Amino acid sequence: MERRDVLRIGGLTLAATLAGCVDDSPSSDTATDPESDSDDMASELDLREANVVGVEFEERDEGYRFDVTLHHDDDGEDGYANWWQVETLDGTQLGRRVLTHPHSRQPFTRWDIIEIPDSVTCVVVRGHDQTHEYGGRAVVVNLDSGAQNAISQGSERQTVSESDCP
């Protein structure tokens, strides 16, 4: 089976009709973290930063649809999570989903279609916020296997090692 034919799920189940900025955050009993359950999620993350806590993707004719779940304390500061992006391991941006306002329900999920070259197997999904910029957790995604690896991205965007690709 080719990767173009398979839906990869990375931690949560979403309705197929997510659109724009409709309140589509998962219910509280849905696990959104591939490495821990949702009860432990907030205690393990610095919620002042935009943390990627779930990634789903599906390859389509026009590119990959990425459903990205962020967890960030948008109500706790003047700044909010203002975008997430998909990039290659060396940091080349492939696409970005801009978020234009705070989201009071946490975590929250938004989607976008991103073109990924056939030669790219692993991508990095990063969150960003107005106050701290980068920081928190990013997720490295293997587009062939669907495997995911959560990493701490640090306050400055850095390239990701090939060894971080699951």
Burial (CB count within 10 angstroms: exposed 0-12, middle 13-18, buried 19+), residue 142: middle
Torsion 14-15-20-23 (CA) sign: negative
Q: Cα separation of 100 and 23, whole Å?
A: 14
Tokens of 121: 């197997």
Percentage of the chain exceeding pLDDT 90: 42
- Residue 15 has a pLDDT of 29
The domain 3-12+32-164 is placed in CATH, from the list 2.120.10, 3.30.60, 2.60.40, 2.30.30, at 2.60.40
Q: Helix and strand tally (H, E) in the chain?
A: 1, 9
Give mean pLDDT, residues 116-141.
Answer: 90
pLDDT (average), residues 89-110: 86
What are the structural domain ranges in the chain?
A: 3-12+32-164
pLDDT of residue 2: 42
Mean pLDDT of 43-49: 68
Instruction: Report the SS3 class of residue 86.
Output: strand
Instruction: Indicate the pLDDT class of residue 13, thresholds 50, 70 and 90.
Output: very low
